[in-house]
Amino acid sequence: MPSEPDLNTTNEQRLLTAAVQGNMLDLAGSHSIDEASMQEWGDERTIAASMVRDILLGRHGVIDPRGVRIRGACIVGRLDLDNARTDVGLRLESCYLPEGITAESADLLGLQLHDCLLANTVAPALNLPHANLRSALNIHGCTIRAMPKFGGAVNMIAAKVGGNLNCNGSRIYNESGPGIGADNLRVSGSLFLRYGFEAYGDGTLGTVRLNRSRIDSFVDFSGANLHNKSGPAISADGMTADSLLIRNGFAAESGSAFATIRLLNARISTVEVRGATIKNGSGPAIVADGLDVEGDLLVGKDLTATGSGKIPTLNLDHASVGTSFFFNPERITNSSSPDKRISIDGLTYPRVPSGLDLQQWLSLLRHDTGGYAPQPYQQLAAVHRAAGHESEARIVLRAQRKHQIDSHTLTGRSNRLWARTTGLLLGYGYQPWRTLIGLLAVAIISSVLCLTSPALVHTKNSPNPGTPCRASERIGVAIDLTIPLIKTNIRSQCDLVGTVASDWLAIVGWLLQALSWGFATLFVVGFTSAVRKS
């Protein structure tokens, strides 16, 4: 049997009358309201929570479609709407609920909380798990304090909201667990946590939990301030949303090995991170392994991210971008591992990224990723080649090969020696013209030796046997000695004589010829490889 409220209580009778007439019950009038004054309110501001429940459930007759609206009241007792169904909304403005609200598995038309103070020492101050709100849920400018270890000071696990969920300007505190627990939350509109929104939590579960939640429009943290001493500030693994906005003065700080912001395997159409400060004294700032961005990913110039530990400060491993990728953060640091600032091994994107020029990208891949990985280079080269930037693609691939060699990832001394040799002579297969320089150098050395050697004289087939050869004839001999597949036939007229000098010149000629054949072979191999890679 439902409890019978005391209708002799002036405030409760006034509330019923206001609800029937479609008016708001205002117990504050022109008096100023703040958190301190709320906690000093006496009986003149008191309304029994059970009376509010009974009016919402129609136990005192039909009320106006505008619903129950109260301002400046202290709602005594826990407002219990568990498993209830209401066909009118509840709007509380500047109200104090010392035991909070619970509406577990309820089906509510709507709930509007503006500038309210909610508290509870053992349970969530706002408890909405598995609740269905058929319209918007507003928690605007409220202060919410509770200390449950699980669930959160605001518990919206598996709740459904039929419009926007607005937490703008609210302040949520939990010294023992999450500020907001909203795993598996479903929101038909946008989730707003901005304009001065603050949340303080503690523990590995995180301050704002949105794991596996689905938000049909924006998730907007613009200007929010989040803290957690030992866990993530945002935990949104597996979240699905149209847009994620972390910008305009957003600040988050944690001391968690699990990252300040977690977006593992989240699926979001657009992600924008700029104008934000993200800190972690015990781990990475952002971990977004497997993040699927169907549209644009923007990591803006005015982002400051600070991390610590072996995991890079910004981790985008195996993430994917569907359209544009802008990357130019202001400052990303790792206090304990300075070279582990960013990890993008497995990151894919379809276009040439903007924000950094090519040399800045290569510097980042070489010095800031904590070690060599081939995929980031291959990805960068692929988008440049797809855009018709063939020379840029070759620059990237040469940088990759050099990083691979310098990082000692090649096994075997012979492999490393061969790699360094081809790097010097062929530009790792992308500049075969370098071997032509070597071939030209051999020809010049041979020409100098032949021009200055007394060992070259005219043969008996010449009109002047035994006389010194002319300069043009000496250069012809040099070409015959060193350039593969080219023969001038000048040696029938000018050749070496049987002297010690001619013997030394012949030996040097053989060595130069071996070098020239080597350069020529490398050129053919390198040119063929370059054509194939093109």
Is the pLDDT assigned to residue 531 strictly greater than 70? no
Residue 359 pLDDT: 95
Q: Encode pLDDT of 97-119 as tens digits.
A: 999 999 999 999 999 999 999 99
Residue 418 pLDDT: 55
pLDDT band at 3 (very low <50, low <70, confident <90, very high): very low
Is the pLDDT assigned to residue 21 strictly greater than 70? yes
pLDDT band at 2 (very low <50, low <70, confident <90, very high): very low
Task: Please give the share of the chain, as a percent, with pLDDT higher than 90.
Answer: 66
Residue 1 pLDDT: 30
Which residues does 104 contact at the CB level (< 8 Å), separation at least 6? Answer: 82, 83, 127, 128, 129, 130, 131
Section 131-150 average pLDDT: 96
DSSP, residue by residue, 118-156: EEESSS-SEE-TT-EESS-EEEES-EEEE--SSS-SEE-
Residue 389 pLDDT: 94
- Does residue 523 fall inside a structural domain? yes
Place of tokens 């500038």: 115
pLDDT band at 517 (very low <50, low <70, confident <90, very high): confident
Q: Encode pLDDT of 464-488 as tens digits.
A: 888 888 888 888 888 887 777 677 7
Residue 394 pLDDT: 86
169 half-sphere exposure, CB direction, 13 A CA radius: 10
Query: In this structure, what are the phi and psi dihedrals at residue 2, rounded to the nearest 5 degrees?
Result: -70, 150
Is the pLDDT assigned to residue 515 strictly greater than 60? yes
pLDDT band at 403 (very low <50, low <70, confident <90, very high): confident
Per residue in 78-113, is it b (16+ CB within 10 Å) or e — as a string? bbbbeebebebbbbbbbbbbbbbbbbbebbbbbbbb
Domain boundary, last residue among 92, 117, 147: 92
3-state DSSP helix/strand/coil % of the chain, to nearest 5 = 30, 25, 45
Average pLDDT over all residues of the chain: 89
* Contact indicator for 113, 90 with CB cutoff of 8 Å: no
Residue 438 pLDDT: 76
Residue 437 pLDDT: 75
- Does residue 510 fall inside a structural domain? yes
* Lowest model confidence (mean pLDDT) among 11-20, 237-246, 463-472: 463-472
* Lowest model confidence (mean pLDDT) among 65-69, 176-180, 370-374: 370-374
* Lowest model confidence (mean pLDDT) among 325-329, 381-385, 521-525: 521-525
* Lowest model confidence (mean pLDDT) among 32-41, 59-68, 360-369, 413-422: 413-422
* Lowest model confidence (mean pLDDT) among 38-42, 78-82, 391-395, 418-422: 418-422
The H or E element spanning position 266 is none
Residue 409 pLDDT: 66
Residue 4 pLDDT: 44
Which residues does 92 contact at the CB level (< 8 Å), separation at least 6? Answer: 69, 70, 71, 73, 75, 112, 113, 114, 116
If one counts the domains in the chain, the total is 2
Residue 487 pLDDT: 79
Domain boundary, last residue among 56, 73, 92: 92
Section 135-140 average pLDDT: 97
Domain boundary, last residue among 40, 71, 92: 92
pLDDT band at 417 (very low <50, low <70, confident <90, very high): low
- Does residue 465 fall inside a structural domain? yes
Higher pLDDT among residues 391 and 90, named by residue: 90
Model pTM score: 0.80
Q: For residue 122, with 0-12 CB atoms within 10 Å meaning exposed, 13-18 middle and 19 or more buried, which class applies?
A: exposed
Which tokens is 170 given? 């609210």
**Which residues, listed in sequence order, are joined to residue 298 by a DSSP beta bridge?**
272, 326
Section 242-256 average pLDDT: 96
- Does residue 309 fall inside a structural domain? no
* Lowest model confidence (mean pLDDT) among 95-109, 261-275, 290-304, 519-533: 519-533
Strands 456-458 and 320-321: unpaired
Other C-beta atoms within 10 Å of 188: how many? 18
Q: Encode pLDDT of 314-352 as tens digits.
A: 999 999 999 999 999 879 999 988 899 999 999 999 999
- Does residue 242 fall inside a structural domain? no
Section 269-273 average pLDDT: 97
- Does residue 64 fall inside a structural domain? yes
The H or E element spanning position 265 is none
Section 411-423 average pLDDT: 61
- Does residue 368 fall inside a structural domain? no
Which tokens is 211 given? 């794991």
Strands (E) across 94-224 are located at 96-97, 101-102, 107-108, 111-114, 117-120, 126-127, 132-133, 137-140, 143-146, 154-155, 160-161, 165-166, 171-173, 180-181, 186-187, 191-192, 198-201, 208-209, 214-220
55: domain range? 1-92
Which tokens is 100 given? 């909070």
Section 20-31 average pLDDT: 92
- Does residue 333 fall inside a structural domain? no
